[in-house]
Amino acid sequence: MPEQLKRLFPLFAIFIIIFLIIRHLLIPDTFGLYGHYRGDALKDNANIELVYASKEACIECHSDIREMLEMDEHSDISCLSCHGPGLEHVENPETANIEKPGSREFCGRCHAINPARSTNMIIQVDIKEHHAEKKDCIDCHNPHQVWEIKE
């Protein structure tokens, strides 16, 4: 082997070692633990804080309303659909920190007339005309027991 080639070998070796060191420093600790990604990323993603409570959380303290709901047409709807995230309330129930929307717009989200809505899934009313004598839907309908109509 020619002398000049032999002299190149240490040089190459140094380059490769430097490359490996830099590579080692740049790659995060848990990279490649489960695949071509940082293993700790799974933990990071799992540790994000919840904002919405779970459906079951409300029943612990409000079982009466759950029972009421179950007896009528809104039985399949989660408390959270109407009352919003609610986790703040579960952790600190003494303060009234939860939404209670009962306006025509809110009920209209589901009940307003729209030809794209299947009538098998939902009964629709004209939210502007339907019993316009009272302002809000909950002035007549109990949101938890919709066929309990207040006079």
Partner 1 sequence: MGNKGIKSSRRKFVKKTAAIAGTLVASSLIEPFKLLVYATEEPKDEGPWWGVGIDISKCIGCGLCAKSCKIENNVPEDPFFFRSWVEQYTVYNDGTVKVVSPNGGIDGFNQEEDKENIFKTFFVPKMCNQCAKSPCTQVCPVGATFETPEGITLVDSEHCIGCSYCVQACPYGCRYIHPESIVADKCTLCYHRLTKGIAPACMEVCPTGARIYGNLRDPESELVKYMKNNSYQVLKPNLNTGSKLYYNALSAEVI
Number of other residues whose CB lies within 10 A of the CB of residue 138: 19
- Residue holding tokens 């009421």? 68
Nearer to ligand HEC, 40 or 70 (CB): 70
Enumerate the β-bridge partners of residue 86: 52
Give yes or no for residue 73 binding ligand HEC (CB under 6 A): yes
Nearer to partner 1, 38 or 140 (CB): 38
Contacted by 50, from partner 1, ligand HEC, none: CB < 5 to 8 Å by type: partner 1
Using alpha carbons only, how large is the chain's radius of gyration in Å? Answer: 31
Phi, psi of 109 (to 5 degrees): -50, -40
Give yes or no for residue 41 binding ligand HEC (CB under 6 A): no
Do residues 132 and 125 lie in contact, with contact meaning Cβ atoms separated by under 8 Å? Answer: no
Interface residue list for partner 1 (CB under 8 A) = 20, 23-24, 27-28, 31-32, 34-38, 41-42, 44-52, 54-55, 76-78, 80-81, 84-85, 108-110, 112, 114-118, 121-122
